[in-house]
Amino acid sequence: MRDYTFIYTDKWNKYLAERQELTHRLIMLSSYLMDFLVYGGLFIFNQKANTLRGIMSFAVFFIMRQNIQQVFFMARSEGYLFSDPGIPSFTVPYHDTDDFFFSGHVGTCMIWMLENFAQGKTVMGVLAFFIMIFQWIYLTVIRGHYIIDLITGLMVAHFSHMQAEWIVYYVDVKIIGWDRHKRGQLTCNHCKKCGWSNDKISMQMSEEEKNFLKSNYAKNHSKPAVVPKKSLKKTQNFEQSIRQSLFETLFDF
């Protein structure tokens, strides 16, 4: 097996191999970042739990990972530096195992990043992104994962988050009663072509169409909406162009 990312980072790997204390510090830093990310996410979930999607995402991800590792093993590469630094971590095990395929570090970061962004926690989402980048480089340098493990972990995490959204739908909506806005729905969203069933259809409208709808709304309600004269003029021109197009379409023989 040849991993070109190992070839590109060979100097970094040899540098750390000659400095065990620095390597242990790097391992501890990686583990503490994972602890922060996981416990930070759990704290946010406890404070503002509007969906069980996050929990189900991890269930899907690690069940798939565990089953694959029962039937598929990858040998350690030369330069493998991962070891017990002497200080325990709450989320990262240090026991001797070859759990390469696929990366739990990258997958965990990806799921928390998606979930934080979905819940509107932009700062935590950005932090999760940069922690994932750090873990990617760190795991490559210490030979903790092959490049295929990292990429697959990223993809499976995204897949798990997507599947979890519809798996927990019945519990979230039918039993608990959370609506789609509170859930921070990402995957199972309305189609952009579904017209009035899409609550963000205004993003697909031109300004002329918006003004046209405003003017019609004003005509059909007792308290008409205030439409600026400039916009109203554009609306009238827009209506006139529509009538002209219909006329040409119907009588163009």
Mean per-residue pLDDT for 121-135?
95
pLDDT tens per residue across span 56-89: 999 999 999 999 988 888 888 889 999 999 888 9
CB atoms inside a 10 Å sphere around CB 26? 18
Query: How many Å apart are CA 37 and CA 128, to the nearest integer?
Result: 7
Confidence of residue 107 (pLDDT cuts 50, 70, 90): very high
The answer to whether the CB of 141 falls within 8 A of the CB of 22 is no
Confidence of residue 118 (pLDDT cuts 50, 70, 90): confident
Question: The tokens 């554009």 sit on which residue?
Answer: 234
Tokens of 53: 């999607």
Residue 206 has pLDDT above 60, yes or no: yes
Comparing C-alpha atoms, which of 47, 61, 191 is closest to residue 119?
Answer: 47
Whole-number Cα distances in Å, 228 to 217, 225, 234: 14, 10, 10
Measure Cα distances from 92 to 16, 27, 35, 83, 229 in Å: 20, 10, 8, 11, 64
Say whether pLDDT at 38 is over 90.
yes
pLDDT at 42 over 80: yes
What 114-120 contacts at long range (C-beta under 8 Å, 24+ apart), as own/partner pairs, is: 114/57, 114/157, 114/158, 114/161, 114/186, 115/41, 115/53, 115/54, 115/57, 115/161, 116/41, 116/44, 118/53, 118/184, 118/185, 118/186, 119/44, 119/48, 119/50, 119/184, 120/184
Query: Could you tell me which of 76, 69, 57 has the C-alpha nearest to residue 119?
Result: 57
DSSP state letter for 168:
T
Q: Quick one: average pLDDT of 22-41?
A: 94
pTM score above 0.85: no
pLDDT of residue 191: 54
Of the pLDDT bands very low, low, confident and very high (cuts 50, 70, 90), residue 226 is low
